[in-house]
Amino acid sequence: MDKKVVELLNQQITKEFYSAYLYLEFSNFYYDLELNGFGHYFRVQAQEERDHAMLFLQYLQNNGERPVLETVDKPQVIPTEAKMALEETLKHEQYVTGLIHEIYDAAYQVKDFRTMQFLDWFVKEQGEEEANANSLVKKFTLFGDDPKSLYMLDSELAARVYAAPSLVI
């Protein structure tokens, strides 16, 4: 595999673990507010991000490369209000989309079609992640000031069930 592609894939492992840490921070924040549905949603989101990191790790191993585990930074964003965490989630998902595109571009430059095919799933996933984050921001903007509506949104988020990705690598 191309050295730059391997380097970017390794960096993505750390970025995905950082995303999991960030969403655990948001989960704790919402549990502190007694918005347990939001807390649950972000705990599930953290699990999803951890699994994404593991997919990148496994992909490297399956291609004869040794994954390099770097230090995962403490989350840089500490929410101070309920809507802030949702807005920061959208920004973060847009950032991760950019990272995936950067890896894809590096793979494209060296005609690494296998890595591009692997990344296709993540490109689609990031579209879903951004749409979900954007939807939550919009819903909170509409309903956040109304206690009954906020209760219903919290209940909706509490029902989220995690299904591990079935990506064949």
Residues of the chain with pLDDT under 70: 167-169
Class of domain 3-158: mainly alpha
pLDDT at 165: 79
pLDDT at 163: 83
Cβ partners under 8 Å of residue 165, min gap 6: 48, 51, 52, 55, 121, 125
pLDDT at 168: 65
**Rg of the chain on CA atoms, in Å:** 17
pTM: 0.94
Domain ranges of the chain: 3-158
